[in-house]
Amino acid sequence: MQDNGIHWRCTQKRSNANDCFSDWADVKAVVTQTSLTFVDLASIPKNVMLYTDEHEWSSWSKIGDSVLHIELRRWADIMVIAPLSANTLAKIAGGLCDNLLTSIVRAWDYEKPIFVAPSMNAYMWRNSFTEKHIMAIDEFGINLIPPVSHGESGTGAMAEPSFILSTVRMFLESRRKASTSSSRT
């Protein structure tokens, strides 16, 4: 099977096109207002629709109109948040939903996988808030792709995009195999 819809928050670390989810699936990207500062919009593949908080409101004018975060949570088979900031992690753990990204997560159907790949300063990663928030999202069934070492400063850098992609693909493959073998028995 192909074409799993994936949402992801844009990553600064997409240096290699082969690492790109859009080579493998239909992708819609959601960016937070702050992450727009870091994203090179020209690096987003042409076939990837990019959504900001403005789209949430510009696509709605009256009761009865479709609501973007609900449409996107319905459309996607998988959600990948990469990089996940400490702020968005805290918001998800606490159930806050004050932008498009966190509204999709808050409305998410947890039968469908979500992966998060945190990226933050090593002090932030070691902070006890982070531990609490990671435990909270683990309880919801959100899959963590752990950060890696920044070098001397410690752990906190986002995992390599190729590793994120292979983790997600392996997860889906093993789930498909499990469902195929259970449907045979």
User: At a CB cut-off of 8 Å and minimum separation 6, what does 121 contact?
Assistant: 153, 156
Q: Where are the alpha helices (DSSP H) in the chain?
A: 53-58, 68-75, 86-94, 100-106, 122-126, 128-140, 161-184
Give the CA-trace dihedral at 99, 101, 103, 109, to 10 degrees.
180
First to last CA, the chain: 21
Q: How far is the CB of 171 from ligand FMN (least distance, A)?
A: 24
# binding residues, ligand FMN (CB under 6 A): 10
- Residues 119-138, one symbol each (x = binds ligand FMN by CB under 6 A, - = not), give xx---x--------------
Strand-strand pairing, 49-51 and 143-144 = unpaired
117 binds ligand FMN (CB under 6 A): no
Task: Tell whether omega for the bond before 161 is within 30 degrees of 0, i.e. cis.
Answer: no
Q: How far is the CB of 47 from ligand FMN (least distance, A)?
A: 24
Q: How far is the CB of 86 from ligand FMN (least distance, A)?
A: 4
Q: Of residues 4, 11, 35, 130, which one binds ligand FMN by CB under 6 A?
A: 35
Q: Of residues 15, 16, 23, 34, which one binds ligand FMN by CB under 6 A?
A: 34
Q: Which is nearer to ligand FMN, 107 or 124 (CB)?
A: 124
Q: How far is the CB of 61 from ligand FMN (least distance, A)?
A: 25
Q: Of residues 88, 104, 115, 145, which one binds ligand FMN by CB under 6 A?
A: 88
Binding site for ligand FMN (CB under 6 A): 32, 34-35, 85-88, 119-120, 124
